[in-house]
Amino acid sequence: MAIARFPSIVLDCSDPVALATFYGTMLDWKVESSPDWADIRADYGQCISFQPVEDYTPPRWPGQEVPQQMHLDVIVDDLDAGEKAVIELGATKHEHQPGTTFRVFLDPAGHPFCLCTS
């Protein structure tokens, strides 16, 4: 029997509403926010949350001076179309691209995430 259920992932950032809006738009999930917390939620219930951290320092991937600690992989049908769309939302394509079936980007708060093909 499980001790707990896995309801959410929480990302630290300087502006929870801005980062929730970025991911909510990318995934087409509903954004819910208060002044000090934001969630995005899928119709089927999955949730990602965002919390403010004073003096937030973004990860510096691929180096480990400020490690990434975690990242999200999201599936797209077309890497080129996905890349164009996330850049329009405010992502930055990272210069280090270690694979061919995925692409590494930084969200507006500096967290690495990957667009992947299935």
Ordered per-residue pLDDT tens for the chain, 118 residues: 756 576 678 999 999 999 999 999 999 999 999 888 999 999 998 999 999 999 999 998 888 888 877 788 899 999 999 999 999 999 999 999 998 999 999 999 999 999 998 7
Task: Please state, as a whole number, how many other Cβ atoms lie within 10 Å of the Cβ of residue 24.
Answer: 23
Query: Quick check: is 40 in a domain?
Result: yes
Q: Is the pTM of this model over 0.85?
A: no
Structural domain boundaries, residue 108: 8-53+69-116
In angstroms, rounded to a whole number, what is the distance separating the alpha carbons of residues 78 and 80? 6
List, in order, residues 6 or more apart from 10 with CB less than 8 Å away: 48, 49, 50, 51
107, part of any domain: yes
As for how many domains the chain has, the answer is 1
